[in-house]
Amino acid sequence: MALRSPINVLKTPVAGGACAVSLTALLALAQPQQMVVNPSWGLVIEAAPDAAVVTEASVRESISKSGLPWKVRHLSTGIELVLVPAGRFRMGASSGDQDASKAESPAHEVVISKPFYIGRTEVTQRQWQSVMGSNPSRFQAAYFREEAEQQRSAAVGRITESGVTKQEAEAKLGPRPIWVDDTNDFPLDSAPFAEVEAFCTKAGLKLPTEAQWEYACRAGSTAPTFGPLESVAWCGENSGDRTHAVATAAPNAFGLHDTLGNVWEWTADLYIPNAYVQRSASSADPAVTGAGPRAVRGGNWLSLPKTCRASCRIPAAEVRTPRIASEDRMMGATEGRPQYPAYGFRVVLEP
């Protein structure tokens, strides 16, 4: 049977009063539909911001006024990007933040002069693999299997100490452990900066500047965190000492997930501790270029809450301070691969 077109439906005879309804429906059909134009690099997922995600009406209005679609899938990587509107914010230590370091002061006004797209999530292992053809991440199935087996073995060992056989201990513990065997949607981790740059170049994407990152992370919030850490971030308090699939923690008011926690995020900016001292009271689109250690942002799966803050900034571990070197060792850094599995990233596209 052929599918009926809307016009055929309207031609179907209906009982009294329905003629007026049909005419209304016909007029509605005659209204020009809003055209959704896909950019050359992507496919529009949602043209207008979802009010349940972008909760501030003024932000939705700014996004709509830009004339750009809100959520777009980047064609060559599959990365979901959301539009962040132009605006201004106070960058650096939040008012009354006792955990802020000197490098986060003075707080100062920053103008973001143009809207930009930013990854809704950290880049995933699937997305990295599709572009680079390999996956350097520590947190893959083999890691989780090994962890699960080590824990099982330790538990069996504790029980057999009381004199029971290994078989009896196994029976007492019940079914073998189940581990995470699919990490496609986990964040990419352990990639050095040069490889992250190579990914961005191949994909035609960029890393955010520190200012873009903090503006996107805050999403209008002036507090150290945009929400309660236990619901918005995988950090040392709740992660079980590992990364988690992206977008399993609650998003911020721009619809971005995991800006705080999960993996630290590389930025394009050179890390200069007193960068903010050198700025004027109001800066437009600040960027710190040059060769040297990059600033990483947001804290990770092992971080203390005091580190998972919007304004927290540290140098990547390419240049070692004693504090970071000890963290490196704790997180399994090896010779020749110093970037510990704490680092990932999200991308930016400037339309």
CB of 336 to Ca ion, least distance (A): 25
CB of 175 to Ca ion, least distance (A): 34
Helix, strand or coil, per DSSP, at residue 222:
coil
Nearer to Ca ion, 138 or 145 (CB): 138
Rounded CA separation 283/88 (Å): 10
Nearer to Ca ion, 262 or 311 (CB): 262
What string of DSSP letters covers 190-218? S--HHHHHHHHHHHT-BPPPHHHHHHHHH
- Closest among 215, 226, 220 to 287, alpha carbons compared: 215
Q: How many residues make up the chain in this entry? A: 351
CB of 341 to Ca ion, least distance (A): 13
What string of DSSP letters covers 262-318? SSEEEEEEEP-TTTTTTS-SEEES----SSSPEEEES--TT--TTTSSTT-EEE-TT
Helix, strand or coil, per DSSP, at residue 29:
helix
Nearer to Ca ion, 298 or 341 (CB): 298
Q: How many CB atoms lie within 10 A of CB 98?
A: 7
**Binding interface with Ca ion (CB under 5 A):** 258, 262, 265, 298
CB of 186 to Ca ion, least distance (A): 12
Nearer to Ca ion, 62 or 209 (CB): 209
Which segments within 98-237 are labelled E, that is strand?
Answer: 108-112, 116-119
Residue position matching structure tokens 């571990």: 317
Nearer to Ca ion, 97 or 122 (CB): 122
- Please give the C-alpha separations between residue 327 and each of 229, 315, 331, in angstroms, as whole numbers: 21, 13, 6
Nearer to Ca ion, 68 or 296 (CB): 296
Nearer to Ca ion, 68 or 331 (CB): 331
- Under 8 Å between Cβ of 139 and 186: yes
Q: Side-chain half-sphere of 2: how many Cα atoms within 13 Å? A: 5
Residue position matching structure tokens 């809450």: 305
- Under 8 Å between Cβ of 71 and 46: yes
CB of 151 to Ca ion, least distance (A): 26
Nearer to Ca ion, 310 or 333 (CB): 310
CB of 118 to Ca ion, least distance (A): 12
- Under 8 Å between Cβ of 42 and 80: no
The amino acid that residue 25 corresponds to is A
Nearer to Ca ion, 156 or 324 (CB): 324
